[in-house]
């Protein structure tokens, strides 16, 4: 080990930065975050540094560097583009035994500023000892994606309950096991998903002896339209810690690949005509699995609250007091339109956008047609493949011009994406000939024309034939 990692308390202590440019301002920003009393020495200041001086957040010495300026400092950072000055600062600091960092000059440093992941009070610092800062930053980015943004709140919870937990468990091993259970169980999840007061109540109850840390929970997760890269960080994290995954037909196989390997998979998908499992049974299943103490991933295509019946599922969970969280996903309208090169709004063509279902009821599509034919808007129709000919017919019947552009997108965002674009008059026939497979999304409106210019995602025909 070339260096010793330590975390230094600099709150209210004098820290000196030499230099007035962008690099200096980044260092000052870091020092301010840690509460330092910052003095900047530079004959000229730029951008944010000026704002900080004006706001009284930092002190500015408007002068060339002099060694005495370092007296009383707890650390010094040189961030000038003048090598001589940097060298002088380094020598002056070393002779005073003040830790010094010279940006991009490891040989002049007595300490290194690491790349950090800030989840205060938790901090992760990564350093390459000055050998490869770029590598350290890349590693930092990877760690950044692995640690939930609210991770620090777990530490805050632990700090607040530390005394109570100590009273409850005198033995340190018991305390360790207790905290592991809390952090990895539903209480920890509640904190991470922003349900802090519920988490505190639950913890209070456990400490009183009237609750436990092991009960099950449900994650209602939006799996997005198909491309696994469109998952949220939170979705991925929960997918990888679930004990059981209850999923639909709509969830793409690429997304399913990312569910924890050891999780039991329960398919409750619905095909159009045949309901594999009625909704009430799904609701009950989720409750039962959670009551068995499992972490249940309810994985849905797109977003759970957009034509996803997510509301019904959590209603049942609520009735049974099962803890849960809802993780939004990219809904088909968003994902599919982006990948098809069709912006849903556009200053010239569409000032609003409407999502509707095109699901048939008793063989007919029962929609608010006058609202759907208005000009200047985009209409996105979910579940409209079967009803497509009827939808086009009704739109024309209710006054939409027969040449209004319309597109249908099969399995958007996946390697099997196919787009058929035409007009209200011609689409049904084209689609019949193309033999599209569900799921398909319909987009109606002038914005469809933009596709000619904006289409960028063209999966290879080889990949298409996989299905």
- Which residues participate in catalysis according to the annotation? 248, 270
List 19, 216, 228, 301, residue binding ligand SAH (CB under 6 A): 301
Minimum CB distance to ligand SAH smaller for 47 or for 454 = 454
DSSP secondary structure string, 351-419?
SEEEEEE---BTTB----HHHHS-SSEEEEEES-TTTHHHHHHHHHHTT--TT-EEEEEESTTSTT-EE
Pairing of strands 418-423, 405-410: antiparallel
Contact 352, 327 (CB under 8 A): no
**If binding is defined by CB under 6 A, does position 186 make contact with ligand SAH?**
no
* 3-state class (DSSP) for residue 140: helix
Helix, strand, or coil (residue 20) = coil
Among 307, 327, 340, 407, binds ligand SAH (CB under 6 A): 307
Q: How many CB atoms lie within 10 A of CB 354?
A: 18
Q: How far is the CB of 245 from ligand SAH (least distance, A)?
A: 17
Q: Which stretch binds ligand SAH (CB under 6 A): 22-30, 105-113, 211-219, 410-418?
A: 410-418
Residue 413 lies near ligand SAH (rule: CB under 6 A): yes
**Which phi-psi region, left, alpha or beta, contains residue 145 (left: φ > 0; alpha: ψ -120 to 50)?**
alpha
Query: How many CB atoms neighbour CB 342 within 10 A?
Result: 25
Q: Which residue is nearest to ligand SAH (CB)?
A: 302
Angle at 126 between CA 82 and CA 1, to 5 degrees: 90
Q: Which of 218, 303, 325, 395 binds ligand SAH (CB under 6 A)?
A: 303
State in angstroms the smallest separation of the CB of 340 from ligand SAH.
9
DSSP reduced 3-state for 433 = helix
Q: Does 415 bind ligand SAH (CB under 6 A)?
A: no
Kindly write out the interface string for residues 232-251 of this chain, putting x where it contacts ligand SAH by CB under 6 A and - elsewhere.
------------------x-
Least distance in angstroms from the C-beta of 417 to ligand SAH: 7
Cβ 445 vs Cβ 377: under 8 Å: yes
Residues 6+ apart with CB under 8 A from 370: 398, 399
Q: What is the rounded distance in angstroms from the CA atom of residue 148 to the CA atom of residue 192?
A: 7
State which of residues 439, 445, 447, 448 lies at the interface with ligand SAH (CB under 6 A). 439
Residue 332 found at the interface with ligand SAH (CB under 6 A): yes
| Total residues in contact with ligand SAH, by rule CB under 6 A | 23
Specify which residues 423 forms β-bridges with. Answer: 405
Is residue 387 at the binding interface for ligand SAH, with CB under 6 A as the rule? no
Taking CB under 6 A as the criterion, the residue among 383, 395, 422, 450 binding ligand SAH is 383
Binding of residue 440 to ligand SAH (CB under 6 A): yes
223 binds ligand SAH (CB under 6 A): no
Q: Least CB distance from residue 296 to ligand SAH, whole Å?
A: 18
Q: Name the site residues for ligand SAH (rule: CB under 6 A).
A: 225-226, 250, 300-303, 306-308, 331-332, 336, 382-383, 409, 411-413, 438-441
């Amino acid at each position: 080990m070339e260096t010793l990692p330590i975390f230094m308390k600099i709150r209210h202590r004098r820290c000196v930065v030499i230099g007035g440019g962008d690099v200096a301002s980044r260092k000052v920003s870091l020092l301010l975050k840690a509460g330092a009393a910052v003095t900047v020495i530079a004959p000229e200041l730029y951008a944010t540094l000026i704002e900080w001086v004006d706001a009284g957040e930092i002190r500015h010495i408007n002068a060339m560097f002099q060694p005495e300026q370092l007296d009383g400092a707890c650390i010094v950072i040189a961030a000038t583009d003048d090598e001589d000055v940097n060298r002088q600062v380094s020598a002056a600091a070393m002779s005073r035994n003040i830790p010094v960092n010279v940006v991009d000059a490891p040989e002049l440093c007595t300490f290194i500023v690491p790349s950090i992941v800030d989840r205060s009070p938790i901090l992760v610092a990564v350093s390459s000892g000055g050998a490869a800062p770029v590598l350290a930053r890349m590693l930092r980015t990877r760690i950044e994606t692995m640690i939930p943004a609210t991770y620090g709140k777990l530490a805050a919870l632990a700090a607040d309950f530390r005394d109570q937990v100590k009273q409850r468990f005198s033995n340190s091993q018991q305390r360790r096991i207790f905290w592991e259970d809390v952090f990895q169980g539903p209480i920890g999840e509640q904190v991470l998903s922003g349900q802090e007061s519920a988490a505190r109540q639950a913890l209070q109850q456990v400490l009183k002896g009237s609750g436990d840390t092991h009960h099950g929970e449900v994650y209602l997760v939006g799996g997005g339209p198909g491309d696994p890269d469109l998952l949220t960080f939170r979705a991925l994290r929960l997918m990888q810690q679930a004990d059981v995954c209850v999923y639909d037909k709509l969830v793409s196989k690429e997304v399913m690949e990312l569910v924890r390997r050891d999780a039991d998979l329960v398919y409750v998908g619905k095909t159009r005509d045949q309901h594999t499992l009625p909704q009430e049974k799904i609701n009950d299943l989720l409750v039962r699995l959670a009551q068995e103490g499992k972490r249940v991933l309810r994985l849905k295509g797109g977003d759970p609250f957009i034509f996803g019946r997510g509301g019904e599922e959590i209603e049942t969970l609520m009735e049974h007091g099962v803890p849960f969280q809802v993780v939004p996903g990219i809904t088909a309208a968003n994902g599919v339109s982006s990948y098809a090169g069709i912006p849903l709004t556009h200053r010239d063509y569409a000032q609003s956008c409407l999502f509707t279902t095109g699901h048939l009821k008793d063989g007919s599509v029962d929609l608010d047609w006058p609202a759907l034919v208005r000009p200047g808007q985009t209409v996105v129709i979910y579940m409209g493949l079967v009803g497509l000919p009827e939808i086009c017919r009704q739109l024309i019947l209710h006054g939409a011009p027969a040449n209004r552009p319309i597109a249908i997108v099969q399995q958007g965002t996946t390697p099997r994406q196919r787009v058929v674009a035409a007009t209200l008059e011609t689409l049904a026939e084209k689609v019949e000939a193309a033999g599209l497979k569900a799921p398909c999304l319909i987009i109606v409106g002038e914005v469809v024309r933009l596709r000619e210019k904006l289409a960028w995602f063209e999966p290879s025909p080889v990949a298409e034939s996989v299905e």
